[in-house]
Chains A and B, each alone.
Chain A
Amino acid sequence: MPKFLLVALVLLAHVAVAQNVEFDKDNFKSNKDGLKEAQREVKTGDEWYDMDPPRYEQALPHYLEAQKFNPNNARLNLRIGDCYLHSGYKPRALPYLQKAYQLNSDIDPRIHYLLGQGLHLNAKWTEAIAEYKAAQPAVAGKNSAALLASISKKIKECENGQKLEKNPSRVFIDNIGAAINSPYADYGAVISADESVILFTSRRDNSTGKERDPETGGFFEDIYQSTRTASGWSAARNLGKPVNNEGHDATVGLAPDGQRMLVYVEDNGGDLQEAELRGAAWRKPEKMGPRINSRAHESSAAYTPDGRSLYFVSDKPGGIGNRDIYKVEIDGRGPAINLGSTINTPYGEEGVFLHPDGKTMYFSSEGHNSMGGYDIFKSVFENGKWSEPENLGWPINTPDDDVFFVISASGRHGYYSSFRDDGLGSKDIYQITFLGAEKPPVLSQEDQLLASRAQPVKEASLAPPVPIATAQVTILKGVVTDAASKQPLEATIDVVDNSRNELIASFRANAQSGRYLVSLPSGVNYGIVVRQEGYLFHSENFDLPAGAAYSEVVKDIALKKLDVGVKVVLNNIFFDFDKATLRKESTAELERLQKLMVETPALRLEISGHTDNVGKAEYNKDLSQRRAKAVVDYLVAKGVDKGRLTFAGYGDTQPVATNNTKGGRQLNRRTEFKVIGK
């Protein structure tokens, strides 16, 4: 191309984009009506934009109308860019800001700062840093120190982003679908540990009262629920009253078993309340007391898996930053404790969530190595302290706010909300599938290694092991029923640490469905006791060594009424190997049995020992008898009348399962009691 032509083209292009076009008659002689309409739109837009505080969301549609008429006005482009920077679709600000600058580089003293933000939000890290740096000299006025600090922080965020984007997290991020998301804002998803139930907040048009919030113009928040079916999530339904009311009702937390929910309400500067599921209906949310709620803004919270403590976010005075995470024992007396400076930063923390393993916390923070706005972080409580928070990385985190993240017990799926181009409108809920570290492909190679042999030799495949982050928790769930009527029971489920003989947590099965779910972090020998008045208790044992990987166990439990002839297996009685010596982990179960004898004075029991078919029958019979006797001896020593107890050793003569499998043999080795009188 001849040089002069190139110069001419460049000049032309420059002229074409750099010409600022005002909304006046001289520029639009042929379309006066159009001009008038556009001027009206600009005026309406300006009215919203110039309010204190500015109403960007309302101003934007008017500006966009005017932009259709005249796309080359620097002021309008700048204002559209600024509106977008304050909307859910922040990255869209960039082309307008760039155009404003091209049309008039002196359009606003903040232009470099705004351009920096536009580029930053589009993850154009290097260019953003350059604009932020260009913005620094122009900073003046009484807030200059704060603004300079903010620019420095944003530069740091861009540097963090550059690093994090180089090592992206391997994830699928999928819109959770139209059963849950709507054209309105959908966010704040919380899930039960097994992902069978999801609750979330939505501002859709069927909200309770159907009123719009005069401040934002959107519908008031309501809480919705969906359950997982074989074909996906069921259509979300409004929880209705008494949970949802005319004002804002937002869900912020759900117990792992889905039986208790934490709700955010606007009272008292923003407070947390708790609602309980009874049968199929949620009860009216109740206040959580002054140890949790202050006059400040308490905005999000999460239960510990034992349901006894609460992690929550508050901006009450005395924190490290403007919003901090605190922990409090729900039924205790002590004050809420700030989690300290490993977690809380001088900036904001928000959206706390505790994994059912009881030690892994997810939260959002504007501090640490955020790449912009709030990023989601993970920290693990080990050896008495929280680990350095780890950024969940790109593309989960973005330069914009990423908040209210929850994760399934398996660690496989996370849920959060985000503005994305594939959304159904406004903010939508997305499911993140964690794929883990890259799985290296494996190549094959062979060579003719021996000169005298024609046959090539295959080289061993190099499949380097990859670090695996598996959730260390077992989910035990099922349905509790009456053994005779098969009807669901609202039984109590006690979780006991056998080695410490300590009650860890108590849950109730759902009154209507009999469903229960308990999450059992690895590293404990658990006794699970299911009890209900008028029934004999049922015990299960889960010995989960430290490091045991995630598993989900479904165990339906049928409770038996106290009747003559009924047999109950005592799964938490342990003997030394090949001996009749009771191990100390049996104490809790023995005490339960003793309590049963005390509470039911007429009760008479036969305690029996059983073995599998390994070893000699005579020996097995003798061992099982000695073991049964050891249990009886314990009870008698604790004051139970000897006459109410008999013992028997049946060896392998009464198997309850096959002896051909390891699992079957384990079931057959057991201590049992049978009611022989009541």
Chain B
Amino acid sequence: MQKVLLLAFGLCLSAAAAQAQVDTVRASTLPPAQQAEKLYNSGVAKYNSKSYRAAIQDFDKALTLRPDFAKAFYNRATTRYELKEYQLAVQDYDQAIKLEATGFGNYFGRAQAQEALGKPAEADLDYGKTTEIKPDYAPAWYYRGALRFEKGDFAAAKSDFDQAIKVDPNYAYAYHDRASTQRKLGNFDAAIQDYTKALSLQPDFLPALLNRAAAKRRANDLKGALADYNAYLSKKQDSPTAFTNRGSTRYDAGDYKGAVEDFSKAIELDGSYAFAWNNRAAAYLKLEDYKKAAADAAKAIALNAQYAEAYMNRGHAREMLRDAPGACQDWQKAAELGLETGSSYAANSGCGAAE
């Protein structure tokens, strides 16, 4: 039974090659231990050609023949990760770690699977273990940094990105993410410097251009920010976010008409992009076109009923359109959704208490 199956697999693997058929037939006569190696190699080849299901079957077989085959567990885990079977991947990494406690790749792989399962704390521990075993493995530092960034622990994130850059000075992503961390920490100059470094290491890494623009905007270098947005948009015009963010920068620079143009372009690219609708409402408020402002904010709210900023802006528009009760409702809703100034606007406009 087993032989037939193996043969069948061999046929599948290289149907056109007569030599392979011979080889497979030969393989079926190999001793069990070597058979496991062979299956393992076959699994690797299938993994590389992205035949993940077939690869898993090879690794299964290899492990049946040799249950202490740590690398096979590792590879099956990695394949399962690709198949998004993260829980099974974690189980395989567990086995691999049991068999080979010093393999940093096992921890790193499990960390990635844990992250994919939405378990950042477990992933953090495994990345940490990876850095203990192999401190010069930059991705472990980098990914843990990203996790800590997402947790909002920017100081810890920065120290991880520092380490990643220390062990791999050409790590563009690490520079990029450290830049984002600096931005979050309010160090805009440092952020701009790191984004610039990431771009010099990887000139086609365009998101860095957008982020540098945003950092410049925060640092009140509106001219510099606009230059970066322009550079990005001269290469790629498919991003509603890029248009929206350039529009916001134009808004900051007092160019409300230019801002409206950008937000409109973003809406043209993606009519469901609520931020563009909301921001265009803000620009129309500045242009004192309150009807359009109210309509755009209403559209943003229709796209996202929990959109605090859009309620706030529509409240402002309604106030100027002499719809006091409507404005009150919107400000109170904005406050309920987290923009607290909404309550004081409501209170000072003689609105009744929120229901």
Contacts and interface: CB of A to CB of B under 8 A. Distances in A.
Interface of A: 172, 410, 412, 435-436, 439, 441-453, 456, 459, 461, 463, 465-466, 468, 470, 549
Contacts of B241: 446-448, 456
B196 interface: no
Contact of B275 (A172, A444, A452): A444
A31 to B, nearest CB: 50
B221 interface: no
Contacts of A446: 241, 275
Interface in B159-189: 172-173, 176-177, 180, 183-184
Given A410-B350, A439-B316, A450-B177, A445 B344 contact: no
A172 to B, nearest CB: 7
Q: How large is the interface on B (under 10, 10 to 19, 20 to 34, 35 or more residues)?
A: 35 or more
Interface stretch (B30-38, B97-105, B244-252): B244-252
Contacts of B283: 441
A463 B342 CA distance: 10
Contacts of B286: 441
Q: State the majority secondary structure of interface residues on B.
A: helix
Contacts of A442: 278, 282, 309, 312-313, 339
Contacts of B62: none
Contacts of B146: 450, 452-453
B110 to A, nearest CB: 17
B348 A463 contact: no
A220 B285 CA distance: 47
B206 to A, nearest CB: 10
B149 to A, nearest CB: 6
Interface of B: 142-143, 146, 149-150, 172-173, 176-177, 180, 183-184, 198, 205, 207-208, 210-211, 214, 241, 244-245, 248, 251, 274-275, 278-279, 281-283, 285-286, 293, 308-309, 312-313, 315-316, 319, 322, 339, 341, 344-345, 347-350
A307 B345 CA distance: 32
A463 B341 contact: yes
Contact of B347 (A445, A447, A451, A549): A549
A435 B317 CA distance: 12
B312 A448 contact: no
B248 A443 contact: yes
A189 B184 CA distance: 55
Contacts of B214: 445, 447, 459
Top 10 nearest A-B pairs by Cβ distance?
Answer: A441-B282, A449-B180, A451-B173, A442-B309, A444-B275, A451-B176, A441-B285, A443-B279, A412-B350, A443-B248
A451 B207 contact: yes
A459 B244 CA distance: 13
Nearest to A413: B350
Contacts of B205: 451
Q: State the majority secondary structure of interface residues on A.
A: loop
Contacts of B208: 451
Nearest to B297: A441
A368 to B, nearest CB: 27
A453 B180 CA distance: 12
Contacts of A453: 146, 150
A449 B313 contact: no
Contacts of B143: 452
Contacts of A463: 312, 339, 341
A465 B348 contact: no
Nearest to B176: A451
B248 A445 contact: yes
A459 B211 CA distance: 12
Contacts of B344: 468
Nearest to B311: A442
Given A447-B245, A451-B177, A452-B173, A461 B341 contact: no
A466 B341 contact: yes
A412 B350 CA distance: 7
A521 B57 CA distance: 83
B339 A461 contact: yes
Contacts of B339: 442, 461, 463
Contacts of B150: 450, 453
A170 to B, nearest CB: 9
B355 to A, nearest CB: 16
A449 B347 contact: no
Contacts of A468: 344, 348
A470 to B, nearest CB: 6
Nearest to B143: A452
A447 B229 CA distance: 13
B309 A444 contact: yes
Contacts of A466: 341
Nearest to B213: A447
A449 B214 CA distance: 10
Nearest to B157: A450
A443 B180 contact: no
A461 B308 contact: yes
B348 A436 contact: yes
Given A436-B348, A441-B281, A449 B341 contact: no
B316 A448 contact: no
Contact of A448 (B198, B207, B244): B207
Contacts of B312: 441-442, 463
Contacts of B275: 444-446
A450 B183 CA distance: 12
Nearest to B342: A463
B180 A450 contact: yes
B196 to A, nearest CB: 15
Given A451-B208, A452-B173, 13 more contacts: A412-B349, A412-B350, A439-B345, A441-B313, A442-B312, A442-B339, A443-B279, A445-B245, A451-B198, A451-B205, A459-B214, A461-B308, A549-B347
A441 B149 CA distance: 29
B211 A449 contact: yes
Contacts of B313: 441-442
Contact of B149 (A439, A443, A450): A450
A588 B296 CA distance: 59
A594 to B, nearest CB: 40
29 contacts: A172-B322, A412-B349, A412-B350, A439-B315, A441-B282, A441-B285, A441-B286, A441-B313, A442-B278, A443-B251, A443-B278, A443-B309, A445-B245, A446-B275, A447-B180, A447-B211, A448-B241, A449-B149, A451-B173, A451-B176, A451-B198, A452-B143, A453-B146, A461-B309, A463-B341, A465-B341, A468-B348, A470-B347, A470-B348
Given A463-B341, A468-B344, A443 B282 contact: yes
A450 B149 CA distance: 9
Contacts of B278: 442-444
A435 to B, nearest CB: 7
Nearest to A444: B275
A451 B278 CA distance: 26
Given A445-B275, A446-B241, A435 B149 contact: no
Contacts of B349: 412, 435-436
B316 A441 contact: yes
A44 to B, nearest CB: 46
